């Protein structure tokens, strides 16, 4: 089948490449000429493990190409994916759909035969219907099927998520569209990956509800972690014990500095805006948004407290600034809330991140970027782990201690064990685990 993927950002690039790997003929379109030129030469604008190799392989096999010529790419496709960005609109948190409708209008003008038009971008309920209206208005004779096919890729493991998904969601109303989508996903269907067919609105909502639910799990466990610190409980074991219940599940119960990234913060906010529009209440999601914002802000104070409330002219080594490991993405990363507060109190910041410098350099002014973790820790008064890059859990403790001026570690991702760190001579603070005697309120003591 011939697929045109409009938008060669993260979602479009990964999905387009994986469809080419399935054997389809894929054209990825973007209006950014320099990006298309780089991609055609095999230079990838994002860091995603395995993506570069897969792109090169499929370009070499002539199944994947890149262009800025949207008209030609639309004209020849059996399935046209809309995979452009839907950022948060300033002021009201609604998803900004201007790029989506711009593309829909271009499809209306350039398409001369039947094609399925599928949204991969995360779009609020009702967008598919509006795209249909837009196409009918521009070309009433055009025969198209509009489909919602949301993606559930995680940055850092996107190819694995695409190739081995828990499910594929397809919101389509006509039998013809369903058949075409089945053909598209045939390699997954033949491996018995579950495919759920729904109407357009349901598929659109599944995406938001899934992200909001995962965000809720994280915000929930972060609040429980705070409680653990006050009552001598251990969050790692609480998460484990909860996760053993199959109804709850063990995933996304890892306490940390709050969720970031290009999806959860934007999508939870957009869901609250959609609910308002439909006069429906999502008070739980509103609470999650608020709880996560507070969480990110509270992390800087946690560090300041661990450093005895005095960080003026002190050097703090920050290990990891991306919103999670295995990505170079800094969007909504907790580090962007934490570091400016530390700087405003006079701290000097050394940073090491395996991939974060390229994006971080403009977002975090006045910091010193270091080439390895030990260089960041050299003569620093403390080290703070913000992102759990795998290499940080295998650091040489003796060398760390030697590098730091004071052996103080604040681990916001719980990658080390308190006993191990204390034994190695560190003062070690982590999340939801008490390494010092807790203050138990008298009411509990009496009981």
Q: Footprint of ligand UGA on this chain (CB under 6 A)?
A: 122, 151-155, 211, 214, 218, 252-254, 256, 259-261, 263-264, 323-324
Nearest to 119 by CA among 194, 18, 207: 207
Shortest distance, position 128 Cβ to ligand UGA, whole Å: 17
Taking the complex as a whole, the smallest distance from the CB of residue 89 to ligand UGA amounts, in Å, to 17
Give the Cβ contact number of residue 71 at 10 Å: 12
C-beta atoms surrounding 346 within 10 Å: 11
Distance CA 429, CA 409 (A): 6
For ligand UGA, give the closer residue by CB, 65 or 254. 254
What distance in Å separates the CA atoms of residue 115 and residue 296, rounded to the nearest whole number?
45
Which C-beta is closer to ligand UGA: that of 357 or that of 414? 414
Tell me if 323 sits within 8 A of 260, measured CB to CB.
yes
Residue (105 or 161) nearer to ligand UGA, CB: 161
**Looking at 18, 228, 263, 370, which residue is catalytic?**
263
Angle of CA points 52, 54, 60, to nearest 5° = 100
Nearer to ligand UGA, 154 or 401 (CB): 154
Q: Give me the least distance between CB of 245 and ligand UGA, in Å please.
A: 16
CB of 313 to ligand UGA, least distance (A): 31
- Rounded to a whole number of angstroms, the minimum distance from the CB of residue 413 to ligand UGA is 8
Which two three-digit tokens encode residue 104? Answer: 């829909």
Least distance (Å) from ligand UGA to the CB of residue 147? 18
Beta bridge partners of 25: 2
Which residue number, 210 or 378, has a Cβ lying nearer to ligand UGA? 210
Cβ atoms within 10 Å, residue 202: 15
| Catalytic residue status for 18 | no
How far CA 104 is from CA of 46, 71, 117, 306, in Å, comes to 26, 12, 9, 53
Closer CB to ligand UGA, 355 or 403, in the complex: 355
Q: Looking at the annotation, which residues are catalytic? A: 263
């Amino acid at each position: 089948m011939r697929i045109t993927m409009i938008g060669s950002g993260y979602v479009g690039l990964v999905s387009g490449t994986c469809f080419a790997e399935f054997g389809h003929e894929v054209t990825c379109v973007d209006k950014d000429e320099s990006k298309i030129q780089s991609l055609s030469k095999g230079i990838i604008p994002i860091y995603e493990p395995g993506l570069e190799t897969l792109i090169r392989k499929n370009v070499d096999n002539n199944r994947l190409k890149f262009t800025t010529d949207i008209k030609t790419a639309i004209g020849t496709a059996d399935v046209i994916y809309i995979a452009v960005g839907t950022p948060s609109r300033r002021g009201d948190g609604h998803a900004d759909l201007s790029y989506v409708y711009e593309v829909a209008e271009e499809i209306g003008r350039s398409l001369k035969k039947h094609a399925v038009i599928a949204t991969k971008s995360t779009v609020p309920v009702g967008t598919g219907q509006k795209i249909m209206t837009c196409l009918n208005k521009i070309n009433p004779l055009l025969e198209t099927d509009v489909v919602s096919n949301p993606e559930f890729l995680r940055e850092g493991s996107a190819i694995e998520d695409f190739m081995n998904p828990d499910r594929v969601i397809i919101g389509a109303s006509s039998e013809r569209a369903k058949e075409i989508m089945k053909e598209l996903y045939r390699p997954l269907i033949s491996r018995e990956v579950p495919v759920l067919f729904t109407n357009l609105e349901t598929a659109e909502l599944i995406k938001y509800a899934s992200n909001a639910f995962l965000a809720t799990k994280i915000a929930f466990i972060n609040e429980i972690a705070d409680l653990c610190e006050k009552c001598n409980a251990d969050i790692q074991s609480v998460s484990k014990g909860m996760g053993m219940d199959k109804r709850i599940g063990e995933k996304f119960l890892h306490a940390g500095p709050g969720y970031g990234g290009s999806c959860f913060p934007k999508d939870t906010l957009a869901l609250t805006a959609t609910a308002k529009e439909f006069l429906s209440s999502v008070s739980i999601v509103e609470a999650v948004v608020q709880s996560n914002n507070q969480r990110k802000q509270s992390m800087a104070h946690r560090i300041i407290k661990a450093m005895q409330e005095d960080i003026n002219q002190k050097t703090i080594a920050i290990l990891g600034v991306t919103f999670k490991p295995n990505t170079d993405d800094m969007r909504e990363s907790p580090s962007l809330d934490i570091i400016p507060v530390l700087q405003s109190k006079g701290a000097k910041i050394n940073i090491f991140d395996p991939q974060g410098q390229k994006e971080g350099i403009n977002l975090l002014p006045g910091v010193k970027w270091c080439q390895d973790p030990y260089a960041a820790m050299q003569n620093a008064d403390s080290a703070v782990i913000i992102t759990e890059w795998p290499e940080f859990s295998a650091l040489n403790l003796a060398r760390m201690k030697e590098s730091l001026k004071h052996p103080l570690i604040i681990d916001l991702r719980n990658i080390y064990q308190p006993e191990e760190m204390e034994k190695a001579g560190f003062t070690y603070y982590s999340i939801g685990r008490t390494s010092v005697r807790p203050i138990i309120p008298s009411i509990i003591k009496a009981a």
